[in-house]
Structure 1
């Protein structure tokens, strides 16, 4: 009986962490790894996101909650989301709030101040610098002003790479730590593509289909690549435009769109490729400082990578010798570089990087942040 009361007391004394995101939870691998790490470290975790029309059921070891909104884009979406999240957080039991990205920060900050709760902030990107805001100065100014108002007041912060951490620390005199979005170590498990490969070389892009990802350039380059196939796994704003471009360039038989896949599905598709792409354009600071998690997913799948000549991603290639940095952003030059890459050998370097670039190593920084909250 004594042990039973001790166990119950221990369970009820666990610190509660409420984690908020604006996505629908299903494909956010970074937040899932953070929540799982906190759960394994003895926290009681509730992850809160959105429920969309196409949201698939999820099952996690920690608790999840999805809220359905009336508005799903624009100012009304952000206003409704933060209002709903504020009420939910305010009236829920919690010890720690974990806000992911600027679009969820206002509600979290308000609750933390009103109820004197610890607040942790995970910045996945330079939100005001995303390409979608380049030609929307009023909206960009709003997010920049919110960032300028709130970030200097935060005490427990981390982000995805050194460049963003340095930017925030210099601009706002903050103390952002670095927790890269590294995958867990995975043994290669190969699946099947929904079409015939016919001994062709496979080039893969996985991730969001948005402006500035270099996908138009890659589709154009397929004109100059015989016996090659391009797989695009993901969805986004320019999905239809990319399909139309492939059709107009007469490369549609060389380009296959798989749509948005679950991480478990994608992990079996990626190892089938010969090269993984991350060709982001330098469209502002957010892309310039990008360190996409797909780079590390390619490494776990044991395939070489071709990346843009941007500081964070090229540093991975230089340090670990796991691929190449794009030299010229023209279709012909890109096609030639891919052909040259396929003649080179990267296996030994990739296997070494695969062992080192894992969440098991990276999560130590996260654990230290939560152990020493201010």
Structure 2
């Protein structure tokens, strides 16, 4: 049994990928500690099932301003200037600042493996590993250099340099998709990256989307799954609803009150207020069961950055495992996934006429895109979370072959 420290830059109360990995490691017999930031009303320390959570206050601007020489200048009329300077420095300094806050806490539990999620956590993991001779695994959730919104030019160069430096020092690297992995492998100069898809845990849900909407099985229903906010394509798809007869459109996921109000006003202006709903987020292991029975799933990600163009989002797998036909914007690896599994079509979402036509046709021809037993078996063997967890545990086992001993 190993002691594994998982390091993440959020409170880890809803980060499905991190929580699933932590639970998989614990179920495999490892002792698992998750280190995250304090927030979202979560306690600073708790035991959640087999996983222990440690949450530490993380205020990078405050940490930076407390350091010399800024601390000596942070007074009187010059204070606003210092505040402005500190804000400009945080995007460059946050990696080292995160380490200053977290490395000592991580090293304090004397881990064998430190699993760092996203680039901001890697320096802290490497610094902690020096204190206890642990092995570090970097989990790249996306292409850090190509995040959205895009980094300014100088920050992009800085991020690329840091990721290359840290990514060559760690013992192992995981990422979320094959094409992201290809770009990252070239960037890091490594050929040993592992792909662990962000597949869902499939549990039962006591509720059902059609029941929540109060509609019968014969009402055409297409769904969007994921964070509901402006810029994610929900508003653009909503604009098409007047052209889709009596179809219902539901967005399922976290949504703030302002966005919900804006979308509902838009629906009312389009005279489709009764055919659009924003439904609340569910526990991540209930989403697949909840959305079963929808007719079409919409993936409206815009390929505005390379990270988005190559994305393999959890919503793709949630829709697939619910066996809902998928219509997606033209994104490289999603295109390959739909061709491989025969469960959807690609269309340019900027071509509204083509998009309306494709949604209408797929609603009529949905049986053609529903996977049969053999296709579902292939999907499970290639992409299920159970298979991704097996790859994760195998990666941990490889790191443990020469198990380090903490000083």
The answer for the alignment partner of 1:86 in structure 2 is: 103
How far did residue 322 of structure 1 move? 1.0
The answer for the alignment partner of 1:215 in structure 2 is: 234
1:197 aligns with 2:215: yes
How far did residue 50 of structure 1 move? 2.8
1:29 aligns with 2:45: no
Contact 2:248–2:275 at 8 Å: present in 1 too? yes
How far did residue 308 of structure 1 move? 2.0
The answer for the alignment partner of 2:328 in structure 1 is: 307
Q: 1:104 aligns with which of 106, 116, 121?
A: 121
Contact 2:202–2:289 at 8 Å: present in 1 too? no
Q: Which segments of 5 or more consecutive residues in structure 1 lack a partner in the other structure?
A: 1-13
Q: TM-score, normalised by structure 1?
A: 0.85
d(CA) in 2 for partners of 1:55, 1:331: 43
d(CA) in 2 for partners of 1:372, 1:197: 51
- How many residue pairs are counted as aligned between the two chains? 360
The answer for the alignment partner of 1:206 in structure 2 is: 225
Q: 1:229 aligns with which of 239, 243, 248?
A: 248
How far did residue 299 of structure 1 move? 1.8
d(CA) in 2 for partners of 1:352, 1:204: 24
Of 306-315 and 79-88, more deviation after overlay is shown by 79-88
How far did residue 281 of structure 1 move? 0.9
How far did residue 243 of structure 1 move? 4.7
Of 287-296 and 324-333, more deviation after overlay is shown by 324-333
CA deviations on 1:78-126 (whole Å, 9 max, x unpaired) are 4664432223113222111000111222211222234331101111111
The answer for the alignment partner of 1:239 in structure 2 is: 259
d(CA) in 2 for partners of 1:260, 1:139: 34
1:253 aligns with 2:274: yes
Q: TM-score, normalised by structure 2?
A: 0.78
The answer for the alignment partner of 2:51 in structure 1 is: 62
d(CA) in 2 for partners of 1:330, 1:310: 15
d(CA) in 1 for partners of 2:281, 2:395: 33
Q: 1:355 aligns with which of 380, 384, 388?
A: 380
Of 211-220 and 337-346, more deviation after overlay is shown by 211-220
Change in CA separation of 1:208 and 1:188 when aligned onto 2, cut-off 3 Å: closer
Change in CA separation of 1:220 and 1:82 when aligned onto 2, cut-off 3 Å: farther
Q: 2:156 aligns with which of 140, 159, 167?
A: 140
**RMSD between superposed Cα atoms in Å:** 3.0
Secondary structure of the residue that 2:292 maps to in structure 1?
A: helix
Q: 1:280 aligns with which of 262, 277, 301?
A: 301
1:51 aligns with 2:70: no
Contact 1:279–1:308 at 8 Å: present in 2 too? yes
Q: 1:153 aligns with which of 151, 166, 169?
A: 169
Contact 2:198–2:385 at 8 Å: present in 1 too? yes
